[in-house]
Protein backbone atom coordinates (compact mmCIF):
# COMPACT_ATOMS: atom_id res chain seq x y z
CA UNK A 1 0.00 0.00 0.00
CA UNK A 2 1.31 3.47 -0.89
CA UNK A 3 0.68 6.81 0.73
CA UNK A 4 -1.22 7.97 -2.33
CA UNK A 5 -3.87 5.29 -2.10
CA UNK A 6 -3.86 4.84 1.71
CA UNK A 7 -6.35 7.61 2.53
CA UNK A 8 -8.96 6.02 0.31
CA UNK A 9 -8.65 2.65 2.02
CA UNK A 10 -8.03 3.80 5.58
CA UNK A 11 -10.02 7.01 5.84
CA UNK A 12 -12.49 6.59 3.03
CA UNK A 13 -14.51 9.75 2.68
CA UNK A 14 -14.17 10.65 6.36
CA UNK A 15 -13.62 14.25 7.30
CA UNK A 16 -11.42 14.97 10.32
CA UNK A 17 -14.54 15.80 12.36
CA UNK A 18 -14.60 16.25 16.10
CA UNK A 19 -12.10 13.45 16.76
CA UNK A 20 -9.31 15.05 14.77
CA UNK A 21 -10.11 18.75 14.88
CA UNK A 22 -10.74 21.19 12.05
CA UNK A 23 -8.78 21.53 8.86
CA UNK A 24 -5.46 23.32 9.17
CA UNK A 25 -5.42 27.08 8.71
CA UNK A 26 -3.25 28.74 6.08
CA UNK A 27 -0.68 29.66 8.73
CA UNK A 28 -0.41 25.99 9.73
CA UNK A 29 0.07 24.94 6.11
CA UNK A 30 3.02 27.33 5.96
CA UNK A 31 4.34 25.84 9.19
CA UNK A 32 4.11 22.36 7.68
CA UNK A 33 6.25 23.46 4.76
CA UNK A 34 8.75 25.02 7.16
CA UNK A 35 8.85 21.84 9.24
CA UNK A 36 9.53 19.63 6.21
CA UNK A 37 12.42 21.92 5.22
CA UNK A 38 13.73 22.03 8.80
CA UNK A 39 13.66 18.22 8.92
CA UNK A 40 15.92 18.04 5.86
CA UNK A 41 18.34 20.55 7.40
CA UNK A 42 18.43 18.73 10.74
CA UNK A 43 19.15 15.42 9.02
CA UNK A 44 21.94 17.09 7.02
CA UNK A 45 23.54 18.51 10.16
CA UNK A 46 23.34 15.20 12.09
CA UNK A 47 24.88 13.42 9.10
CA UNK A 48 28.05 15.46 9.69
CA UNK A 49 28.63 13.39 12.83
CA UNK A 50 26.53 10.23 12.42
CA UNK A 51 26.59 7.91 9.42
CA UNK A 52 23.25 6.35 8.41
CA UNK A 53 20.61 5.58 11.08
CA UNK A 54 17.94 7.49 9.13
CA UNK A 55 15.05 5.54 10.64
CA UNK A 56 16.36 6.17 14.16
CA UNK A 57 16.73 9.90 13.47
CA UNK A 58 13.20 10.02 12.10
CA UNK A 59 11.93 8.23 15.20
CA UNK A 60 13.66 10.71 17.52
CA UNK A 61 12.26 13.67 15.58
CA UNK A 62 8.78 12.14 15.75
CA UNK A 63 9.18 11.75 19.51
CA UNK A 64 10.32 15.34 19.96
CA UNK A 65 7.51 16.78 17.84
CA UNK A 66 4.95 14.71 19.74
CA UNK A 67 6.38 15.80 23.10
CA UNK A 68 7.31 12.27 24.14
CA UNK A 69 10.38 10.38 25.33
CA UNK A 70 12.35 7.61 23.62
CA UNK A 71 14.21 4.49 24.66
CA UNK A 72 17.27 3.64 22.54
CA UNK A 73 18.35 0.01 22.57
CA UNK A 74 21.62 -1.06 20.99
CA UNK A 75 24.95 -2.72 21.66
CA UNK A 76 27.96 -0.55 22.60
CA UNK A 77 29.77 1.38 19.89
CA UNK A 78 26.80 2.30 17.69
CA UNK A 79 27.05 6.07 18.38
CA UNK A 80 23.94 6.32 20.56
CA UNK A 81 25.44 9.10 22.69
CA UNK A 82 26.86 10.91 19.66
CA UNK A 83 23.49 10.72 17.92
CA UNK A 84 21.63 12.27 20.84
CA UNK A 85 24.20 15.03 21.41
CA UNK A 86 24.27 15.84 17.68
CA UNK A 87 20.49 16.05 17.66
CA UNK A 88 20.55 18.45 20.62
CA UNK A 89 23.15 20.62 18.85
CA UNK A 90 21.13 20.75 15.64
CA UNK A 91 18.07 21.85 17.64
CA UNK A 92 19.93 24.48 19.68
CA UNK A 93 18.87 22.83 22.92
CA UNK A 94 20.62 22.43 26.25
CA UNK A 95 21.99 18.90 26.48
CA UNK A 96 22.71 16.91 29.63
CA UNK A 97 24.08 13.40 30.02
CA UNK A 98 23.56 11.22 33.09
CA UNK A 99 25.62 8.04 33.35
CA UNK A 100 23.45 5.63 35.31
CA UNK A 101 25.34 3.44 37.77
CA UNK A 102 24.26 1.23 40.72
CA UNK A 103 25.34 3.88 43.26
CA UNK A 104 23.52 6.78 41.57
CA UNK A 105 21.09 8.54 43.94
CA UNK A 106 17.85 10.37 43.04
CA UNK A 107 19.40 13.67 44.17
CA UNK A 108 22.22 13.12 41.66
CA UNK A 109 19.56 13.51 38.98
CA UNK A 110 17.12 16.05 40.34
CA UNK A 111 19.45 18.17 42.47
CA UNK A 112 19.77 18.78 46.19
CA UNK A 113 19.39 21.50 48.82
CA UNK A 114 22.55 22.86 50.44
CA UNK A 115 23.00 25.13 53.44
CA UNK A 116 24.45 28.56 52.78
CA UNK A 117 25.61 30.97 55.49
CA UNK A 118 25.50 34.74 55.13
CA UNK A 119 28.96 35.92 56.23
CA UNK A 120 27.76 39.30 57.49
CA UNK A 121 24.68 38.15 59.44
CA UNK A 122 25.55 34.53 60.15
CA UNK A 123 22.09 33.50 58.95
CA UNK A 124 21.83 30.10 57.33
CA UNK A 125 19.43 29.33 54.49
CA UNK A 126 18.77 26.45 52.14
CA UNK A 127 19.51 26.81 48.44
CA UNK A 128 18.47 24.31 45.79
CA UNK A 129 21.25 23.28 43.40
CA UNK A 130 19.71 22.00 40.21
CA UNK A 131 20.72 18.61 38.91
CA UNK A 132 21.32 17.47 35.30
CA UNK A 133 17.60 16.82 34.81
CA UNK A 134 17.23 20.57 34.26
CA UNK A 135 18.02 20.53 30.55
CA UNK A 136 16.06 20.33 27.32
CA UNK A 137 17.51 17.03 26.13
CA UNK A 138 18.52 14.56 28.84
CA UNK A 139 20.46 11.43 27.87
CA UNK A 140 19.90 8.73 30.49
CA UNK A 141 22.79 6.47 29.58
CA UNK A 142 22.18 2.79 30.47
CA UNK A 143 19.12 3.56 32.53
CA UNK A 144 18.74 -0.08 33.56
CA UNK A 145 22.01 -0.01 35.55
CA UNK A 146 20.55 1.98 38.42
CA UNK A 147 18.10 0.75 41.11
CA UNK A 148 14.34 1.34 40.77
CA UNK A 149 14.35 4.19 43.33
CA UNK A 150 16.69 6.24 41.14
CA UNK A 151 14.89 5.23 37.94
CA UNK A 152 11.67 6.51 39.48
CA UNK A 153 13.19 9.96 40.09
CA UNK A 154 13.78 10.33 36.36
CA UNK A 155 10.46 8.84 35.31
CA UNK A 156 8.54 11.16 37.64
CA UNK A 157 10.12 14.15 35.93
CA UNK A 158 9.17 12.65 32.55
CA UNK A 159 5.54 12.32 33.53
CA UNK A 160 4.97 15.40 35.68
CA UNK A 161 7.47 17.79 34.04
CA UNK A 162 8.33 18.88 37.57
CA UNK A 163 10.92 18.23 40.27
CA UNK A 164 10.06 18.43 43.96
CA UNK A 165 12.78 19.11 46.53
CA UNK A 166 11.74 19.63 50.11
CA UNK A 167 8.68 21.85 50.11
CA UNK A 168 9.39 23.43 46.73
CA UNK A 169 8.32 22.27 43.28
CA UNK A 170 10.36 23.33 40.24
CA UNK A 171 8.95 23.25 36.72
CA UNK A 172 11.19 21.85 33.99
CA UNK A 173 11.78 24.10 31.02
CA UNK A 174 10.09 23.03 27.80
CA UNK A 175 10.81 21.48 25.43
CA UNK A 176 11.93 18.57 27.59
CA UNK A 177 12.91 15.14 26.27
CA UNK A 178 14.43 12.11 27.94
CA UNK A 179 16.32 9.76 25.64
CA UNK A 180 17.31 6.70 27.62
CA UNK A 181 19.67 3.97 26.40
CA UNK A 182 19.86 0.28 27.21
CA UNK A 183 22.45 -2.36 26.35
CA UNK A 184 20.57 -5.53 25.27
CA UNK A 185 23.48 -7.96 25.56
CA UNK A 186 24.77 -7.28 29.08
CA UNK A 187 22.24 -8.02 31.82
CA UNK A 188 24.46 -8.70 34.86
CA UNK A 189 24.01 -6.05 37.52
CA UNK A 190 21.05 -4.41 35.80
CA UNK A 191 17.56 -3.44 36.97
CA UNK A 192 15.13 -3.84 34.04
CA UNK A 193 12.45 -1.19 33.79
CA UNK A 194 9.01 -2.46 34.85
CA UNK A 195 6.30 -2.51 32.18
CA UNK A 196 4.46 0.40 33.81
CA UNK A 197 7.60 2.54 33.52
CA UNK A 198 8.38 1.40 30.00
CA UNK A 199 4.91 2.58 29.03
CA UNK A 200 5.97 6.18 29.65
CA UNK A 201 8.35 6.06 26.70
CA UNK A 202 6.60 6.95 23.47
CA UNK A 203 8.73 4.62 21.40
CA UNK A 204 11.55 2.14 21.59
CA UNK A 205 14.13 2.61 18.85
CA UNK A 206 16.52 -0.25 18.18
CA UNK A 207 19.88 0.73 16.70
CA UNK A 208 21.43 -1.96 14.52
CA UNK A 209 24.87 -2.42 13.02
CA UNK A 210 25.69 -0.26 9.98
CA UNK A 211 25.87 -1.67 6.48
CA UNK A 212 29.35 -2.51 5.05
CA UNK A 213 29.43 0.76 3.10
CA UNK A 214 28.36 2.77 6.16
CA UNK A 215 30.92 1.05 8.36
CA UNK A 216 33.66 1.86 5.86
CA UNK A 217 32.58 5.51 5.95
CA UNK A 218 32.57 5.47 9.77
CA UNK A 219 36.07 4.00 9.88
CA UNK A 220 37.38 6.49 7.35
CA UNK A 221 35.68 9.56 8.81
CA UNK A 222 36.35 9.00 12.52
CA UNK A 223 40.07 8.23 12.17
CA UNK A 224 40.91 11.69 10.85
CA UNK A 225 40.88 15.15 12.42
CA UNK A 226 38.42 16.58 9.88
CA UNK A 227 35.12 16.23 11.77
CA UNK A 228 32.55 18.87 10.83
CA UNK A 229 30.72 20.89 13.45
CA UNK A 230 26.95 20.56 13.75
CA UNK A 231 25.19 23.86 13.11
CA UNK A 232 21.93 24.69 14.95
CA UNK A 233 18.79 24.64 12.81
CA UNK A 234 15.85 25.18 15.18
CA UNK A 235 15.40 27.02 18.46
CA UNK A 236 13.40 25.90 21.48
CA UNK A 237 10.64 28.38 20.61
CA UNK A 238 10.35 26.99 17.07
CA UNK A 239 10.18 23.42 18.39
CA UNK A 240 7.36 24.38 20.75
CA UNK A 241 5.54 25.96 17.82
CA UNK A 242 5.92 22.78 15.77
CA UNK A 243 4.70 20.71 18.73
CA UNK A 244 1.55 22.81 18.78
CA UNK A 245 1.20 22.26 15.05
CA UNK A 246 1.33 18.48 15.47
CA UNK A 247 -1.47 18.69 18.02
CA UNK A 248 -3.58 20.61 15.50
CA UNK A 249 -3.04 18.16 12.64
CA UNK A 250 -6.45 16.59 11.94
CA UNK A 251 -6.98 12.83 11.98
CA UNK A 252 -9.79 10.98 10.18
CA UNK A 253 -12.10 9.22 12.67
CA UNK A 254 -11.53 5.95 10.83
CA UNK A 255 -7.79 6.22 11.48
CA UNK A 256 -8.39 6.72 15.18
CA UNK A 257 -10.73 3.72 15.16
CA UNK A 258 -7.98 1.74 13.44
CA UNK A 259 -5.40 2.72 16.10
CA UNK A 260 -7.82 1.84 18.90
CA UNK A 261 -8.69 -1.52 17.35
CA UNK A 262 -5.01 -2.32 16.79
CA UNK A 263 -4.16 -1.65 20.43
CA UNK A 264 -7.23 -3.39 21.82
CA UNK A 265 -6.48 -6.45 19.69
CA UNK A 266 -3.13 -6.77 21.51
CA UNK A 267 -4.92 -7.41 24.85
CA UNK A 268 -5.56 -11.13 25.44
CA UNK A 269 -8.69 -10.46 27.51
CA UNK A 270 -10.33 -8.23 24.86
CA UNK A 271 -13.07 -9.52 22.55
CA UNK A 272 -11.10 -8.21 19.56
CA UNK A 273 -8.02 -10.27 20.40
CA UNK A 274 -7.16 -12.93 17.79
CA UNK A 275 -6.20 -16.44 18.84
CA UNK A 276 -2.44 -15.87 18.60
CA UNK A 277 -2.69 -12.94 21.05
CA UNK A 278 -4.53 -15.09 23.60
CA UNK A 279 -1.88 -17.75 23.14
CA UNK A 280 1.31 -15.70 23.28
CA UNK A 281 0.60 -12.45 25.16
CA UNK A 282 0.33 -11.85 28.89
CA UNK A 283 -0.29 -8.11 28.69
CA UNK A 284 -1.14 -5.87 25.77
CA UNK A 285 -1.04 -2.19 24.89
CA UNK A 286 -2.80 0.24 27.24
CA UNK A 287 -4.63 3.49 26.42
CA UNK A 288 -1.41 5.53 26.64
CA UNK A 289 -0.06 3.40 23.81
CA UNK A 290 -3.13 4.25 21.72
CA UNK A 291 -2.58 7.96 22.34
CA UNK A 292 1.09 7.68 21.44
CA UNK A 293 0.27 5.75 18.27
CA UNK A 294 -2.04 8.50 17.03
CA UNK A 295 0.35 11.29 18.05
CA UNK A 296 3.33 9.58 16.41
CA UNK A 297 1.35 9.10 13.17
CA UNK A 298 0.47 12.81 13.20
CA UNK A 299 4.10 13.79 13.80
CA UNK A 300 5.29 11.49 11.01
CA UNK A 301 2.90 13.12 8.55
CA UNK A 302 3.88 16.61 9.71
CA UNK A 303 7.59 15.81 9.24
CA UNK A 304 6.80 15.03 5.60
CA UNK A 305 4.88 18.28 5.23
CA UNK A 306 1.52 16.49 4.94
CA UNK A 307 -1.61 17.95 6.52
CA UNK A 308 -3.17 14.64 7.57
CA UNK A 309 -1.82 11.20 8.54
CA UNK A 310 -2.88 8.08 6.68
CA UNK A 311 -2.80 4.32 7.18
CA UNK A 312 0.88 4.12 6.21
CA UNK A 313 1.80 6.55 8.99
CA UNK A 314 0.12 4.33 11.58
CA UNK A 315 1.82 1.30 10.07
CA UNK A 316 5.19 3.09 9.99
CA UNK A 317 5.21 3.99 13.70
CA UNK A 318 3.36 0.94 15.08
CA UNK A 319 6.42 -1.24 15.75
CA UNK A 320 8.54 1.27 17.74
CA UNK A 321 5.48 2.59 19.60
CA UNK A 322 4.00 -0.80 20.53
CA UNK A 323 6.77 -3.38 20.90
CA UNK A 324 7.89 -2.41 24.42
CA UNK A 325 4.25 -2.46 25.55
CA UNK A 326 3.50 -6.06 24.54
CA UNK A 327 4.50 -8.57 27.23
CA UNK A 328 4.88 -12.08 25.87
CA UNK A 329 4.56 -15.31 27.88
CA UNK A 330 6.57 -18.52 28.13
CA UNK A 331 4.60 -20.16 25.33
CA UNK A 332 5.62 -17.37 22.96
CA UNK A 333 9.25 -17.90 23.93
CA UNK A 334 8.92 -21.63 23.37
CA UNK A 335 7.39 -21.01 19.95
CA UNK A 336 10.12 -18.50 19.04
CA UNK A 337 7.69 -15.56 18.88
CA UNK A 338 8.88 -12.08 19.88
CA UNK A 339 6.85 -8.94 20.48
CA UNK A 340 7.97 -7.73 17.04
CA UNK A 341 6.63 -10.87 15.39
CA UNK A 342 3.30 -10.52 17.15
CA UNK A 343 2.91 -6.85 16.23
CA UNK A 344 3.77 -7.76 12.64
CA UNK A 345 0.91 -10.26 12.59
CA UNK A 346 -1.44 -7.64 14.03
CA UNK A 347 -0.43 -5.20 11.29
CA UNK A 348 -1.13 -7.87 8.67
CA UNK A 349 -4.60 -8.29 10.17
CA UNK A 350 -5.16 -4.52 10.24
CA UNK A 351 -4.99 -4.38 6.44
CA UNK A 352 -8.27 -6.31 6.45
CA UNK A 353 -9.90 -3.80 8.81
CA UNK A 354 -9.49 -0.80 6.50
Q: Tell me, yes or no, whether 90 and 217 share the same domain.
A: yes
| Domain end (from 182, 200, 235) | 235
pLDDT, one tens digit per residue, over 137-192 is 999 988 888 888 888 888 778 888 888 877 778 889 899 999 998 877 666 667 88
Q: Is residue 122 part of a domain?
A: yes
> How many domains is the chain partitioned into structurally?
2
Statement to judge: residues 166 and 260 lie in one domain? no
> CATH no. for residue 128?
3.40.50.300
In a domain, 44, yes or no: no
Q: Which of 208, 235, 262 is the last residue of a domain?
A: 235
Pairing type for strands 70-73 and 177-182 reads parallel
Q: Which residue range(s) make up the domain with 135?
A: 50-235
Q: Which of 235, 261, 286 is the last residue of a domain?
A: 235
Q: Residue 293: pLDDT band by 50, 70, 90 thresholds?
A: very high
In a domain, 228, yes or no: yes
What CATH number should be reported for the domain holding residue 291? 1.10.8.80
* Residue 182 sits in the same domain as residue 85: yes
C-alpha Rg value of the chain to the nearest Å: 22
For residues 68 and 214, membership in a common domain is answered with yes
Instruction: Identify whether residues 227 and 272 lie together within a single domain.
Output: no
Please tell me whether residues 208 and 316 are part of one structural domain: no
CA–CA distances in Å: residue 20 to residues 74, 144, 252, 285, 294? 35, 37, 6, 22, 10
My answer on whether 175 and 259 are in the same domain is: no
Rounded CA-CA distance 39/30 in Å is 14
Query: Residue 99: exposed, middle, or buried by beta-carbon count in 10 A (0-12, 13-18, 19+)?
Result: middle
Judgement on whether residues 123 and 215 belong to the same structural domain of the protein: yes
Domain shared by 114 and 200, yes or no: yes
Same domain, 208 and 101: yes
pTM of the complete model = 0.85
Percent share of the chain, pLDDT over 70: 92
Residue 172 lies in a domain: yes
Q: Tell me the per-residue pLDDT of 226-270, one tens digit each, with 9 for 90 and over.
A: 778 888 898 899 999 999 999 999 999 999 999 999 999 999 998
In this structure, the answer to whether residues 176 and 67 fall within a common structural domain is yes
- Answer yes or no: is 241 within a domain: no
Give the pLDDT confidence of 179-199 residue by residue, as tens digits: 998 877 666 667 888 777 888
Domain assignment of residue 242, yes or no: no
Picking from 58, 70, 56, 46, the residue whose alpha carbon sits closest to that of residue 178 is 70
280 domain-assigned: yes
Amino acid sequence: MTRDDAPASAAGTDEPGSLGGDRLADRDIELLESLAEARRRVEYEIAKQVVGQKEIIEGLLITILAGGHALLVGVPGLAKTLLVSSLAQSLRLQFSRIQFTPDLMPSDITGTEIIEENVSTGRRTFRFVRGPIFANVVLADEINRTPPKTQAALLQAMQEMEVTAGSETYTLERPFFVLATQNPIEQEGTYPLPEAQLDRFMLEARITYPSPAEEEEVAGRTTTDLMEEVEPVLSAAEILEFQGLVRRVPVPPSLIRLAVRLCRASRPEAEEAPDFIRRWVNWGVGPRGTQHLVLAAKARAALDGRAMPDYEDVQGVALPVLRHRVVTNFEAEADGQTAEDIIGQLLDLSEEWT
